[in-house]
Structure 1
Amino acid sequence: MSSNLPVLIVATRNSHKSSEIREMIGDRYRVMDVNDFPAMPEVDETGTSFLENATLKAVAISREVAGIVLSDDSGLEVDALGGAPGVWSSSYGGEEGNHARNNARLMAEMAGSEDRSARFRCTMVLARGGEVLADFSGSVEGRILEDAHGAGGFGYDPLFAPEGHERSFAELGAEVKNALSHRGRALEKVAAWLEREA
């Protein structure tokens, strides 16, 4: 990949997330993430909405690096659970980033529930020099499966079947998932904005 490409820094240490973004944005940007900057401080996600958390991360990281920073806050909203786990999706099982515990708690709370409707929601924020440039959102409707299926993806992917599909995100493969996903839909809007404005 050419080093002459503009750099887009993703405000995450989650290599799965930055890898998805790298795949979706193609060869238009050199995608880096916070792991490429070992001295980068942690950002406390104290917001109560995806937009608040995404903004906190984008603004904080963009004060530390040159160039455009993209942050993403996303999660799963389950109707039978009143929208939970929502902004607490990554720590729902009691330990940040422990997908197995998050999935186990979700399965326990959904046991016997007839309403299995849910959605993944994503909010992305672009910032530069500590200032927000724009924000974008995307979502995908679907349902929570009775059991986990598939070994692909990450997080709640084995438990979520998108609308119009019988198989989980973890079974559908990266290409199909990226075309349908909340992150893919938000990122399409990001890419269009960058084409026009950056």
Structure 2
Amino acid sequence: MIRQTTDPLELFGTWYAEAEKSEPNDPSAMALATVGPDGTPSVRMVLLKDYDADGFVFYTNYESRKGTQLLAHAKAGLLFHWKSLRRQVRLEGPVSQTTAEEADAYFASRARGSQIGAWASEQSRPLESRFALEKRVAEVTARHVVGKVPRPPHWSGFRLQPTLIEFWQDGAFRLHDRLEYRRGSAAEPWTTRALYP
């Protein structure tokens, strides 16, 4: 049975810490679902960079497909799947932009090669050749031989503030445990209910 708490972030924190010990690759990896202008869903993997009572934070190019979709329709879904633990956590809610200060601090913590890549990649747009990408990387590297690499203006973060968090744990004979936390907004308290598998 999933241990029920009054605060789903407490339960998430416990599960996340266990995943960090057991998951062989990227326990912070999560599927991000967005909606395009015609209503078509789009999903891809991103990495969780922070979470607290204000929400779950990830970073991207705002001019990428996911960036433009989130700026146009500020709601999303997230899914963590920790195969080693046979668990998953699903979240839904509104999305807002991180502050420039938060984005600057995270960008400064990235490896220099990743910082260069954020400038060089026109994420989600057509790439004429691998050589074209390598040429852009070389040009950006030449511009930033010494000193700090500044954060590109089109690169920043999003924060999903969940109104739904569902915990799922594998059970024998497909009799899984599912525990749902739901609230109308961030200002409201969580309600909890178990779900049929």
TM-score (norm 2): 0.31
Higher helix share: 1
Structure ID, larger Rg: 2
Higher strand share: 2
TM-score (norm 1): 0.31
